[in-house]
Amino acid sequence: MTACYLDHNATTPLGTPAREAMARAMEVTGNASSVHAFGRAARKIVEDARASVAALSGVAPANVIFTSGGSEANNTILRGIDAMRITSSVEHASVLDAADALRIPVDANGIIRLDALALTLEGATGRILVSVMAANNETGAVQPIAEIARLVKEHDALLHVDAIQWAGKRPLFEISAYADAMSLSAHKFAGPQGVGAIVVKDGVAFEPLIRGGGQERRRRAGTENVIAIAGMGAAADAAMNAVGDHAKLAGLRDGIEKALGDAARIYAKDADRLANTTCIAMPGVAAETQVMAFDLAGIAVSAGSACSSGKVEPSHVLLAMGASESEAAEAIRVSLGPDSTEDETQTFIAAWRDLHARTGRAGEAA
């Protein structure tokens, strides 16, 4: 069993509050759409959780729509709004593959080129939807959402923000204040896998991705996953109380990067990043080789996005940032969590140096 878990951007361990809330919800029998007492008990769990997610997001409960996860939330907005779509070249696959969109280039740190976005908006006609992630899942780079929103509103466009990596790490009201729609996923902030939410402003209409029932105010059909929703609500409550602790992880992350020194390439190092995330390339060693070697050493890391870890293609995010195909194929992601320790980061540093030495590059990281 892996002893050193450094892959929190892929999924966070299920927190005690979520686990306990889910256990209580398992004792409830009713369908949340039923009007009898059993159904009302299930409905109360859903609505209490909705209020918790709304509080975390800085919106009213009526603006929260539960989904099966972040990918469904992204797809619902991208496919459900009839508009010319504009996005960046470093988005998650659940945005890039959801619908055809114009892709705006990014700079060497993975930050969207505001001049290119402005030019594209000036040439656009009709209804426009801009979709940009708040923080990148592979590099942790933070996008200038306030500046993006200013450009979007100057052209009467809509702004969707994939806030999936942001939630639980920085205050969500910093995003919801600007976004017309926002996507969340519970398992990125110590909630269960398989549940997420769309946070949408009043008056923003979209066609449901899933039809066939009146659930979620007719914006997402299907019987609500009461147990998972209970866990998401409890995780949201816990995240509100702990979000300020995330910044402390920057010291651990910076310690890793300093220890590896010039032997490693750190992507987006000069950008504002999530405090827990570092994207590290080991020159000459394939990311898949690194992930397997670290796994054998009891350390869990990812080769880019966990959603594409089975692929052999280089990261599209790093390619968009200017890395060559060979460089992009050598990068791994280390993502820390609230329980990560200096002992764990020292274990990773030692394993990284050992692998580096065994590839014929001894001494460079010493």
Is the predicted pLDDT of residue 279 greater than 90, yes or no? yes
- Taking each helix axis from N to C end, the angle separating 226-242 and 37-57, rounded to the nearest 10 degrees, works out to 30
Q: How high is the pLDDT of residue 365?
A: 44
Count of alpha carbons within 13 Å of 52, Cβ hemisphere only?
27
Residue 135 DSSP code: B
Q: How high is the pLDDT of residue 364?
A: 46
Is there a contact between 137 and 95 (Cβ–Cβ < 8 Å)? Answer: no
Task: Mean pLDDT check: name the lowest of 126-130, 189-193, 194-198, 308-312.
Answer: 308-312
**Predicted confidence band at 2 (pLDDT cuts at 50, 70, 90)?**
low
Ordered by start, the domain boundaries in the chain are 4-12+245-358, 16-242
The mean pLDDT value for 12-27 works out to 98
Give the pLDDT confidence of 41-70 residue by residue, as tens digits: 999 999 999 999 999 999 999 999 999 999
pTM of the model as a whole: 0.94
Give SS3 for 356. helix
Q: Give the other-Cβ count within 10 Å of 8's Cβ.
A: 26
Q: How high is the pLDDT of residue 91?
A: 98
Is the predicted pLDDT of residue 349 greater than 80, yes or no? yes
Task: Mean pLDDT check: name the lowest of 179-193, 283-297, 312-326.
Answer: 312-326
Is the predicted pLDDT of residue 110 greater than 50, yes or no? yes
What letter represents residue 185's amino acid?
S
Is there a contact between 325 and 312 (Cβ–Cβ < 8 Å)? Answer: no
The mean pLDDT value for 162-168 works out to 98
Q: How high is the pLDDT of residue 304?
A: 67
**Ramachandran class of 142: left when φ > 0, alpha when ψ lies in -120 to 50, beta otherwise:** beta
Distance (Å, whole) CA 109 – CA 282? 18
Question: Which residues are CB-neighbours of 181 under 8 A, at least 6 positions away?
Answer: 77, 158, 159, 160, 161, 198, 199, 200, 201, 204, 206
Is there a contact between 18 and 238 (Cβ–Cβ < 8 Å)? Answer: yes
With pLDDT > 90 as the criterion, what percentage of the chain qualifies?
92
Is the predicted pLDDT of residue 366 greater than 50, yes or no? no
Place of tokens 């992009």: 328
Structure tokens at 156: 């009467």
What CATH number does the domain located at 4-12+245-358 have? 3.90.1150.10
Q: How high is the pLDDT of residue 310?
A: 54
16-242 fold: Aspartate Aminotransferase; domain 2 (3.40.640)
- Of the candidates 118, 124, 266, 307, the residue annotated as catalytic is 307
Is the predicted pLDDT of residue 342 greater than 60, yes or no? yes
Q: How high is the pLDDT of residue 359?
A: 84
What letter represents residue 120's amino acid?
T
Is the predicted pLDDT of residue 250 greater than 60, yes or no? yes
Is the predicted pLDDT of residue 363 greater than 50, yes or no? no
Is there a contact between 167 and 186 (Cβ–Cβ < 8 Å)? Answer: no
∠ Cα 116 330 342 (to 5°) = 100
The mean pLDDT value for 344-351 works out to 97
Give the pLDDT confidence of 228-237 residue by residue, as tens digits: 999 999 999 9
Distance (Å, whole) CA 287 – CA 284? 9
Helix-strand-coil split of the chain, %, nearest 5: 45, 15, 40
**Predicted confidence band at 312 (pLDDT cuts at 50, 70, 90)?**
low
Report which of residues 87 and 3 the model is more confident about: 87
Q: How high is the pLDDT of residue 308?
A: 52
Count of alpha carbons within 13 Å of 266, Cβ hemisphere only?
20
Q: How high is the pLDDT of residue 243?
A: 85
Distance (Å, whole) CA 114 – CA 120? 10
Distance (Å, whole) CA 71 – CA 203? 23
Is the predicted pLDDT of residue 74 greater than 60, yes or no? yes
Task: Mean pLDDT check: name the lowest of 74-78, 256-260, 304-308.
Answer: 304-308
Report which of residues 241 and 119 the model is more confident about: 119
Distance (Å, whole) CA 338 – CA 341? 9
With pLDDT > 70 as the criterion, what percentage of the chain qualifies?
95
Give SS3 for 55. helix
Distance (Å, whole) CA 20 – CA 234? 9
Q: How high is the pLDDT of residue 314?
A: 87
Q: DSSP characters for 316-342?
A: HHHHHTT--HHHHTTEEEEE--TT--H
The mean pLDDT of the chain is 94
The mean pLDDT value for 344-352 works out to 97
Reply yes or no on whether 279 is catalytic.
no
